A and B are shown apart, each in its own frame.
Chain A
Amino acid sequence: MRVSGLVRHLAVFAQALRERGIPVALSDEADALAALTLVDVADRAEVRRALRVALKVRRRHAAAFDELFERLWAPESGEAATAVVNAARDRRVPHGRPARRLAAAGAGHGERGERDVPSGDAPAYSPEALLRRKSFEECTPEDLAAMERLLSGLASRLATRPSRRLVPTRGRGRHDPRRSFRRALATDGEFLEFARRSRAIEEPRLVVLCDTSGSMDAHTRFVLTFLLALKKAARRTEVFAFNTALTRLTPWMVPGRIAQTLDRLSAGVPDWSGGTRIGECLAAFVDRYLDGTVDRRTVVVIVSDGLDRGDTAELVSAMRAIRSRARRVLWLNPLLSDPRYEPTARGMAAALPYVDRLLPAHNLESLERVLPLVAA
């Protein structure tokens, strides 16, 4: 086959892959072309293997790649393939579309967002300790405003984790003979000062999955306020909301304007207070975001009452996947404040074996207790 035809066909095929959300760069296409000159292009299976290697198709995209290859790869007739791609384009699954819809919805609700911002009234005086123990359900808007102020001070208390990486320090830490010798060279072999190094301090990495369904409504706003405060100390925090669908909230979490952000959120997120499908949503998280956001250093926090109408098998396999990757999995459940509560809700019971700590989350005090677990 002529090379020019192959180049065109490859470009069309790569475009089809991109449309399906499989990242293919121009340099990958160049690699693929080089690879195709090295294999037997008449052998379809071999071409497929070579393209997978050269285009760096990740495992989670492998099925989509194979399907597209089956449908579109026919290098004998570049034109026909183009037609197929065009047809496929109209049918394609709209990847990334929810985010766009979300942004558009959010933009339209600017004025409505102002509605719930606490007016300038001075908040009623509450002793701090009392406020800490007050359940969110009983809080007046004034209480909430006071709590927000308490919370903003809390970010700085978030302890940080020492890394294994050693960095040069002044005056403390252990001796660093190599650098000491190096310095001594500059002073004609005299050791004027010993170099030292100690463990680097690392920012905590957090991924929060927050249930925003109707059964959680009273808590959601407060938990999100808490997360915004937390994000100041741990900038790499990723936040997702779920109820019947999963939404990535991270780009919306703007510190400093907590009330506005919350109103934008409730206007923009689909089903802000609808029912829950925990299993489905966590599975969606595992599918799309787990690889990119969670590593060995990441603590995953799930905030939910575990009241689920979905299938628990899906929940279990998603929890297992998260557990095997994260450093720690915390589950915050506001219902735990009730001493009679047993975690028997179907979803909760199914997820429990994969959770490191199950913690209450009904007032500020309980949220503060979460902090050392997130940091350490």
Chain B
Amino acid sequence: MKAEIRSMQEAMEKQGYIAEAEIATAVYLSQAMGKPLLVEGDAGVGKTEIAKVLARFLGTELIRLQCYEGLDVATALYEWDYPRQMLRVRMAGDDADPEGLEHVIFSRDYLLERPLLKAITRVEGPAVLLIDEVDRADDGFEAFLLEVLSDFQVTIPELGTIQAIHRPHVVLTSNRSREIGDALRRRCLYLYIEHPGFEKEVRIIHSRVPEAGARLAEQIARFVQSLRERRLLKAPGVAETIDWAQALVRLHQDALDAETVATTLGCLLKDHNDLRDLSGGELSSLVEAATS
């Protein structure tokens, strides 16, 4: 393994993110090639966390754009502060120099910077720009994003073109609730994160919930792994595992038992049908398998 990739892996681990070689390679390549990284995977496998960890160890700011259906350019890029402009015009009165006034109200002071603009105009150095759940935005927004991500420049009619001072490190995440367009995919490097295997999950629990003992951590990981094999509607992610481990630590458990698992199962399974399917008999046999 290349030394740079290994040191990336170690740096991420130091921030509490257990990254296997796939993840470290992808993050390293995206840094070295200066291309955005598109991360896909089931909910709760640690996609968003990659951006946070990256920002922490680069010691820079994390700028987050949460996507949703109906997200538009005014919320993502910039908007003029119309009420303030209005007040400024009113205050100037009738005898004001109209051209000078125009320069004042269409200056950067009256511009509301939204995440995308903020990310490319950051002066102190490149920021980490997290575009979260890009699959939730409309197709139209995706096309717009493509434009920003290829040139890293934004044109504001009243001000002209604003060029990125530093190109931000871009991480996009998607839950695959719809297919991301080919054009956007091509602009990025691509990483698919699977649910962690047993070894990795134990290491994650150790790193994130150090209060959990070795025995409990292994039992938790084994139980969650066996749950994922059951093809649930909403398989528990790493985030759920960590929640559950924390819950068990609070309850002063040092090992799993059927009763505690039954009462805390809501930490892991967030779907009514999944909870119902896992009836008492099956649950206790799963717990038994995990603890033996």
The answer to whether A and B interact is yes
Which residue numbers of A lie inside 8 Å of B, CB to CB?
A: 23, 25, 27-28, 31, 34-35, 38-40, 43, 45-46, 49-50, 52-59, 62, 163-166, 177-178, 181-182, 184-185, 188-189, 291-292, 295-296, 317, 320, 323-325, 353
Q: Chain A's nearest CB lies how many Å from the CB of B13?
A: 17
Is A164 a contact partner of B82 (Cβ separation < 8 A)? no
Is A25 a contact partner of B178 (Cβ separation < 8 A)? no
Also in contact, A178 and B82, with CB within 8 A (given A38-B32, A53-B26, A166-B70): yes
The contact of A46 among B21, B82, B177, by CB within 8 Å, is B21
Residues of B near A296 (CB, < 8 A) are 177-178
B231 at interface, CB cutoff 8 A: yes
Q: How many residues of B contact A (CB 8 A)?
A: 47
Also in contact, A295 and B177, with CB within 8 A (given A34-B33, A54-B189, A56-B189): yes
Residues of A near B82 (CB, < 8 A) are 177-178, 181-182, 185
Residue of B nearest to A181 (CB): B82
B164 at interface, CB cutoff 8 A: no
Give the complex CA separation of A57 and B28 in angstroms: 17
B1 at interface, CB cutoff 8 A: yes
Which residue numbers of B lie inside 8 Å of A, CB to CB?
A: 1-2, 4-5, 21-22, 25-26, 28-30, 32-33, 35, 38, 40, 68-70, 72, 74, 79-80, 82-83, 85-86, 89-90, 135, 138, 176-179, 182, 185-186, 188-192, 231, 233-234, 273
Residue of A nearest to B37 (CB): A53
Give the complex CA separation of A154 and B152 in angstroms: 48
Is B188 a contact partner of A56 (Cβ separation < 8 A)? yes
The contact of B178 among A38, A50, A189, A295, by CB within 8 Å, is A295
Residues of A near B85 (CB, < 8 A) are 181, 185
The contact of B29 among A50, A59, A295, by CB within 8 Å, is A50
The contact of A291 among B2, B5, B179, by CB within 8 Å, is B179
Is A56 a contact partner of B89 (Cβ separation < 8 A)? no
Is A28 a contact partner of B186 (Cβ separation < 8 A)? yes
Also in contact, A164 and B69, with CB within 8 A (given A178-B74, A296-B177): yes
Is B25 a contact partner of A185 (Cβ separation < 8 A)? no
Is B177 a contact partner of A325 (Cβ separation < 8 A)? yes
Residues of A near B186 (CB, < 8 A) are 25, 27-28, 56
Is B188 a contact partner of A45 (Cβ separation < 8 A)? no
The contact of B5 among A39, A54, A188, by CB within 8 Å, is A39
Residue of A nearest to B30 (CB): A53
Is B5 a contact partner of A35 (Cβ separation < 8 A)? no
Is B35 a contact partner of A31 (Cβ separation < 8 A)? yes
Is A291 a contact partner of B176 (Cβ separation < 8 A)? yes
Residue of B nearest to A188 (CB): B89
Residues of B near A184 (CB, < 8 A) are 86
Residues of A near B89 (CB, < 8 A) are 185, 188-189
Residue of B nearest to A50 (CB): B25
Residue of B nearest to A317 (CB): B231
What 4 pairs between A and B have smallest CB-CB spacing?
A: A181-B82, A295-B178, A56-B190, A165-B70
Give the A-B contact count at a CB cut-off of 8 A. 111
Also in contact, A185 and B29, with CB within 8 A (given A46-B5, A49-B22): no
Q: Chain A's nearest CB lies how many Å from the CB of B50?
A: 13
Also in contact, A181 and B83, with CB within 8 A (given A23-B182, A31-B35, A46-B2): yes
Also in contact, A46 and B1, with CB within 8 A (given A35-B33, A165-B138): yes
Give the complex CA separation of A333 and B17 in angstroms: 50
Residues of A near B21 (CB, < 8 A) are 45-46, 49
Give the complex CA separation of A317 and B26 in angstroms: 31
Q: Chain A's nearest CB lies how many Å from the CB of B247?
A: 25
Residues of A near B90 (CB, < 8 A) are 189
Is A59 a contact partner of B40 (Cβ separation < 8 A)? yes
Residues of B near A324 (CB, < 8 A) are 233-234
Q: Chain B's nearest CB lies how many Å from the CB of A295?
A: 4
Is B189 a contact partner of A189 (Cβ separation < 8 A)? no
Give the complex CA separation of A181 and B87 in angstroms: 10
Give the complex CA separation of A50 and B72 in angstroms: 34
Is A323 a contact partner of B33 (Cβ separation < 8 A)? no
Is B69 a contact partner of A189 (Cβ separation < 8 A)? no
Residues of A near B233 (CB, < 8 A) are 320, 323-324
The contact of A182 among B29, B80, B273, by CB within 8 Å, is B80
Residues of A near B135 (CB, < 8 A) are 295
Residue of A nearest to B24 (CB): A49
Residues of B near A177 (CB, < 8 A) are 82-83
Residues of A near B80 (CB, < 8 A) are 182
Give the complex CA separation of A217 and B153 in angstroms: 59
Instruction: List 11 additional A-B contacts (Cβ < 8 Å) besides A39-B5, A163-B70.
Output: A38-B2, A40-B1, A49-B26, A54-B189, A56-B189, A56-B190, A57-B190, A166-B70, A178-B74, A292-B179, A296-B177
Q: Chain B's nearest CB lies how many Å from the CB of A1?
A: 15
Give the complex CA separation of A224 and B214 in angstroms: 60
Residues of A near B177 (CB, < 8 A) are 295-296, 325
Residues of A near B182 (CB, < 8 A) are 23, 25
Determine which residue in A50, A53, A58, A166 has the highest number of CB atoms from chain B within 10 A of its CB, and name it. A53
Give the complex CA separation of A28 and B188 in angstroms: 9
Residues of B near A38 (CB, < 8 A) are 2, 4, 28-29, 32-33
Give the complex CA separation of A31 and B35 in angstroms: 9
Give the complex CA separation of A325 and B178 in angstroms: 9
Is B29 a contact partner of A35 (Cβ separation < 8 A)? yes
Q: Chain A's nearest CB lies how many Å from the CB of B86?
A: 5
Q: What are 5 A-B pairs at a CB distance below 8 A?
A: A28-B186, A43-B1, A52-B22, A164-B68, A353-B273
Q: Chain A's nearest CB lies how many Å from the CB of B191?
A: 6
Give the complex CA separation of A44 and B33 in angstroms: 20
Is B33 a contact partner of A31 (Cβ separation < 8 A)? yes
Q: Chain B's nearest CB lies how many Å from the CB of A187?
A: 11
Give the complex CA separation of A342 and B178 in angstroms: 35
Is A53 a contact partner of B231 (Cβ separation < 8 A)? no
Give the complex CA separation of A167 and B72 in angstroms: 10
Give the complex CA separation of A267 and B58 in angstroms: 63
Q: Chain B's nearest CB lies how many Å from the CB of A122?
A: 47
